[in-house]
Amino acid sequence: MTDTLITGDCEAAFANLRDVFAGSFSPDQEHPEVGASVCVYLKGRKVLDLWGGYCDRDRTRPWQRDTIVNMMSVGKGILALCTHILVDRGQLDLDAPVARYWPEFAQAGKGDLPVRYLLDHRAGLATVDEMYRGMAYDWEAMVRALERTRPMHPPGTTPCYHSITMGHLLGEVIRRISGQGIGAFLATNVTNPLGLDYHFGLRDEDLPRCADFLEDEGQGLADYLLANPDSLPARTFGPIAVDENFNSLEWRQSEVPSANGHGNARALAKLYGALALGGELDGVRIIGRETLLRASAEQWEAPDLATGLRMRLGLGFRLGSADTPMGPNRAAFGSTGAGGAISFCDMDAGIGFGYAMNAKYPGLAVGPRTAALVDALYDCEF
């Protein structure tokens, strides 16, 4: 086992999940944890809330209750939720052209492209024309470039994961309708009402409690970009800085909502715990149940062109599959982050689940640590 101190609370029924989480720090594991948090809400109650390990590779900064970390594409589910909140309020029609809300988007043959394709990764805009490295941190530059970008294939035909561009595409639609940037919209409509510690764009005062995102030497995304600059996966990540290690101040403090949301497992479990109850928790209504059911309806299941992973996609939410462990209920939905982080809700069981870590498992899938935690959750008797 491990000597790593695991802290927090766990009801007896979830002891199996606690033990698996503790075991994931063992040096006997293929790719042990450095620091992580895991949390479960069941039918509106927090039943497990654990954290442990360290914030840094040298293991000098213990992971605390309020530690936050970059959770990569977990942010895409949050971004999708923000979009569907506008649908729920009657302010956004997913079948309407994006150009209805964002007129400049109509350039380069995109005048009829519907909003729904921005959500389900079939817009054909996974790459950016006139791109330069580091553009992702400049919202206006990304928006102007996306306006001029021609779809790489006919919209609606080909699933191709919009690794970075999804955030700016949907974020700009949200901004045009609400008048707020994505970070402010999220805070106003989701995280502040529910009391969640999750952010697009960190404030100066949040930086000291941010854990380092850790990639194996030679297996980081920057290494891949440098070695394979013309590959499709590299081009979908192209707008980030070529030497980005996901710990730079620019990364942490800008708004790149496809991939740079920072938070912890507790925030995600509570949020998805609210969604598991139909969009309301503790008297705070975030979204309506029927809107959620439409948002989580399967749009496609296929190998993704950019990542090579077989995916099931709703309207912005990932659905359970071999590379996306969300338990036995195929209606469960949420989002995952490259290398491990995951958040999802199972409306049938009333579960909201969150897991955040800093030691990225190699590759783009979440890896076996995440799968073991989800398996352990559903092995519990609740």
The rounded distance, in Å, linking the Cα atoms of 127 and 233 is 9
For residue 261, being part of any structural domain is answered with yes
CA 67/CA 56 separation, integer angstroms: 12
How many structural domains are present in the chain?
A: 1
In terms of residue numbers, what domain contains 310?
A: 6-79+184-379
Cβ pair 360, 211 in contact under 8 A: no
Q: How far apart are CA 310 and CA 303, in angstroms?
A: 4
Structure tokens at 192: 């502040």
Cα Rg of the chain, angstroms: 19
pLDDT at residue number 253: 98
Q: What is residue 235's predicted lDDT score, i.e. its pLDDT?
A: 92
| Closest among 311, 314, 315 to 324, alpha carbons compared | 311
Taking CA atoms, 176 is separated from 58, 102, 185, 366, in Å, by 44, 7, 12, 33
291 is a domain residue:
yes
3-class SS at 281? strand
Side-chain half-sphere CA neighbours of 305 within 13 A:
19
Type of residue at 193: P
pLDDT beneath 50: ranges in the chain: 1
Domain presence at residue 163:
no
Q: Is residue 251 part of a domain?
A: yes
pLDDT at 244 (0 to 100): 92
**Is residue 202 in a domain?**
yes
Q: Does the residue 140 lie in any domain? A: no
Residue 152 lies in a domain: no
DSSP 8-class letter at 374: H
**Cα separation of 225 and 39, whole Å?**
33
85 assigned to some structural domain: no
| CB 32 within 8 Å of CB 70 | no
Question: Which pLDDT score, from 0 to 100, does residue 112 have?
Answer: 99
Could you give the count of Cα atoms lying within 13 Å of 368 in the half-sphere of its Cβ?
6
Q: Strand (E) positions, the chain?
A: 6-10, 35-42, 45-53, 69-70, 198-200, 261-263, 280-281, 284-285, 300-303, 310-313, 318-319, 333-336, 342-346, 351-357
| CATH code of residue 246 | 3.40.710.10
Residue listed under structure tokens 């995440």:
370
Report pLDDT for 2.
Answer: 58
Convert the pLDDT of each residue in 93-113 to its tens digit. Answer: 999 999 999 999 999 999 999
Per-residue model confidence as pLDDT tens digits over 123-149: 999 999 999 999 999 999 999 999 999
